[in-house]
């Protein structure tokens, strides 16, 4: 059986308990993983599940995606707010060149004074 064949919460419970063999591969690309998680939330109609069903669903997503419970809770909250998952990558530009030059000049002065 494959992951695509899992369609009910009872099948997820069997999968998590280890009584049902399922073949799956780990998703290494983060964007693909976010798309897969969103697809699973839609497929199982996460927002309409009972509290117990939501717990099973979270344990299933943890096992397959490798994300922590906190990360999945954040992603599910985003799905609840917007209806989809979107990866927001934030990169820091680091020091501006002007401050880097000042730091380098201070460092050179300090090094020459300590010699």
* pLDDT score, position 87: 84
Q: Tell me, what's the pLDDT at 15?
A: 86
Q: What is the pLDDT of residues 19-70, one digit of tens each?
A: 766 667 667 788 889 999 999 999 999 999 999 999 999 999 998 888 999 9
Burial letters for 58-86: b for 16+ Cβ neighbours within 10 Å, e otherwise?
Answer: ebbbeebbebeeeebeebbebbeeeeebe
Q: Is the pTM of this model over 0.75?
A: no
- Stronger pLDDT, 97 or 75, i.e. the higher one: 75
Element (H, E) at 78: helix 69-82
Q: What is the chain's mean pLDDT, rounded?
A: 84
């Amino acid at each position: 059986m494959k992951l695509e064949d899992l369609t009910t919460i009872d099948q997820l419970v069997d999968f998590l308990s280890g009584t049902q063999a399922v073949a799956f591969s780990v998703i290494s690309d983060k964007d693909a993983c976010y798309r897969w998680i969103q697809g699973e939330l839609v497929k199982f109609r996460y927002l309409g599940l009972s509290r117990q069903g939501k717990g099973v669903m979270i344990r299933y997503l943890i096992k397959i995606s490798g994300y922590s419970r906190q990360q999945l809770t954040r992603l599910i909250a985003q799905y609840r707010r917007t209806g989809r998952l979107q990866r927001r990558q934030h990169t820091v530009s680091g020091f501006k060149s002007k401050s880097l030059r000042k730091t380098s000049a201070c460092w050179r002065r300090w090094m020459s004074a300590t010699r």
